[in-house]
Amino acid sequence: MHVSARSEYALRAMLAVATGPDGQLVKAATLAATQDIPLSFLQGILLDLRRGGLLVSHRGTDGGYALARPAAEITVGDILRAVNGDLTTVRGQPAGRATYHGNAVGLRAVWLAVHHAIEDVVDAASLADLLTGQVGGPVPASAEPGR
């Protein structure tokens, strides 16, 4: 799975909003500065998160962003889908649309298994889990990148 800068920035921004002062909106410029994200790039991400029903925004001098739902109800998968669409694609199409013939027919099952494995992880981890360090169990050494 490739995690784009856009995906990572979206997750970092959502975590920053989730940890903002209770009842106070977080301004895009503040998010950009504290998370070291280019403001113009962040504004597009925030728009996608708002359209995805994950953030609410208010305009004006006292405006900014807040979570649309409690942090425990927003998953990593929700955020990734809001900014990127499908979690797993094969040649630009959802994994479920992949079709093969002949000796390659088994590839579809592999792509679907990969898709479901990714869903199992990202849909089980909420913002609240990330903030409290309660994400899954320990990562076995064999799962570390480069092994």
Distances in Å between the Cα of 42 and the Cα atoms of 46, 53, 123, 144 are 6, 17, 23, 30
For the chain, give every domain's residue range: 5-134
For 7-21, the pLDDT digits (tens) are 999 999 999 999 987
From the DSSP assignment, how many helices (H) and strands (E) are in the chain?
6, 4
- In 19-106, which residue ranges form alpha helices assigned H by DSSP? 28-35, 39-51, 76-84
Q: Assign domain 5-134 one CATH number from 1.10.10.10, 3.30.365.10, 1.10.3720.10, 3.10.105.10.
A: 1.10.10.10
* pTM of this structure: 0.86
The CA distance from 40 to 139, in Å, is 35
With cut-offs at 50, 70 and 90, classify the pLDDT of residue 55. Answer: very high
